[in-house]
């Protein structure tokens, strides 16, 4: 996700006007820090912004994503109670501020910050546009396709599947625990933010989800960047397939609209996708996805 507070308030006021406040993302509701154990020394940290993943063992300390400065501090304090190690790696799943905003807090405690090759540039450009360059801490270890490191009795690996939510997303796998952090490649049952200026491609995103499933197995537990209200930020392959189906429905709806000669405004003017009964959609958040799909399809992408 990449909405800053001003955009968030704008969305909220739009939603209020539409009478749909109950479905608006409200990070502030999840403001108390919570550590959740998942499997084999791997867990999740919940507070505000994209879910943080962690590995804490006698021989390794790994953090996936860093939320915001204040929540990163709460996370770091909690991790320090569990381990006296330096952090072997902070891994950023992509460049958005609710996943990299805490990098600066983690930096003095971390040996490296790892991300896809495109992340530093995208992060810098976004910071430039927002005028918050001074708050940034950039990844210093980058890779194009895959990255892997031994972490005590665990192995952590990461893979870039091509453009999806941005142009620099990775899925991060704790191989022995069989836990995969999807970053914002997963918005569980909620309209996703699609960062087209940041290199996103809806059709690429749709196609990469089954590839991630193919690279893992039926017992794999996935961690998600965000979820709709009342839904979990973790789950199984069926959630990834539902998100794939959601994008298929988006592409289908927009393609049919284009074929029928409807305007972009007409195409985007629905508040629920046919068949997607579980998704928390609003006309505003679904309209965003449909508009991006319209731009992609009109451009022949």
Binding interface with Zn ion (CB under 5 A): 1, 96, 184
CA distance 124 to 79: 28
Closest C-alpha among 27, 87, 98 to residue 65: 98
Residue closer to Zn ion by CB (options 1, 171) is: 1
Neighbours of 86 (CB within 10 A): 10
CA distance 199 to 201: 7
- Number of other CB atoms surrounding residue 13 within 10 Å: 12
Name residue 226's beta-bridge partners: 187
Q: CB under 8 Å to 60, separation ≥6 — which residues? A: 85, 88, 151, 152, 154
Contact 67/38 with Cβ under 8 angstroms? no
- Beta carbon nearer to Zn ion, 41 or 123: 123
Paired tokens of 163 = 């453009």
Least distance between Zn ion and beta carbon 260 (Å)? 32
CB of 276 to Zn ion, least distance (A): 21
Q: How far is the CB of 247 from Zn ion (least distance, A)?
A: 16
Q: Which is nearer to Zn ion, 88 or 239 (CB)?
A: 239
List the one residue out of 170, 168, 113 whose CA is nearest residue 136.
113
Q: Pick from 106, 72, 104: which is nearest to 88 by CA?
A: 106
Query: Which CB sits closer to Zn ion, 96 or 288?
Result: 96
Q: Is the dihedral angle over the CA atoms 227, 116, 121, 210 positive or is it negative? A: negative
Q: Which is nearer to Zn ion, 60 or 250 (CB)?
A: 250
Q: How far is the CB of 80 from Zn ion (least distance, A)?
A: 27
Closest to Zn ion by CB, 174 or 205:
205
Nearest distance from residue 92's CB to Zn ion, in Å?
A: 10
Least distance between Zn ion and beta carbon 183 (Å): 7
Nearer to Zn ion, 179 or 194 (CB): 194
What distance in Å separates the CA atoms of residue 154 and residue 276, rounded to the nearest whole number? Answer: 38
Residue 193 beta carbon to Zn ion: minimum distance, rounded to whole angstroms: 6
Which contiguous run of DSSP H or E holds residue 141?
Answer: strand 141-143
Contact (CB, 8 A) for 34 and 54: no
Nearer to Zn ion, 61 or 193 (CB): 193
In the complex, least distance from residue 8 CB atom to Zn ion, rounded to whole angstroms: 13
Distance CA(294)–CA(285), nearest Å, equals: 14
């Amino acid at each position: 996700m990449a909405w800053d507070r001003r955009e968030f308030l704008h969305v909220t006021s739009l939603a209020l006007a539409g009478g749909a406040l109950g479905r608006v993302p409200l990070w502030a509701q999840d403001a108390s820090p919570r550590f959740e154990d998942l499997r084999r020394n791997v867990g999740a940290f919940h507070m505000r912004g994209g879910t943080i993943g962690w590995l804490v063992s006698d021989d390794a300390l790994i953090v996936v994503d860093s939320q915001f400065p204040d929540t990163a501090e709460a996370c770091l304090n909690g991790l320090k109670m569990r381990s006296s190690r330096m952090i072997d790696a902070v891994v950023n799943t992509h460049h958005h501020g609710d996943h990299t905003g805490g990098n600066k807090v983690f930096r003095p405690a971390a040996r490296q910050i790892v991300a896809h090759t495109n992340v530093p540039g995208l992060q810098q450009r976004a910071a430039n546009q927002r005028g918050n360059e001074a708050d940034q801490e950039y990844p210093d270890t980058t890779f194009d396709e895959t990255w892997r490191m031994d972490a005590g009795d665990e192995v952590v690996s990461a893979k870039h599947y091509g453009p999806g939510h941005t142009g620099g997303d990775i899925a991060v796998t704790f191989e022995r625990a069989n836990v995969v952090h999807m970053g914002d490649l997963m918005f569980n049952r909620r309209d996703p933010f699609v960062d087209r200026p940041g290199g996103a491609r809806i059709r690429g995103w749709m196609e990469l989800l089954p590839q991630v499933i193919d690279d893992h197995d039926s017992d794999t537990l996935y961690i998600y960047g965000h979820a709709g209200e009342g839904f979990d930020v973790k789950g199984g392959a069926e959630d990834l397939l539902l998100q794939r189906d959601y994008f298929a429905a988006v592409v289908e709806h927009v393609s049919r609209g284009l074929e029928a000669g409807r305007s972009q405004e007409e195409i985007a003017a629905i508040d629920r996708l046919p068949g997607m009964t579980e998704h928390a959609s609003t006309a505003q958040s679904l309209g965003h996805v449909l508009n991006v799909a319209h731009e992609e399809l009109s451009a022949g992408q």
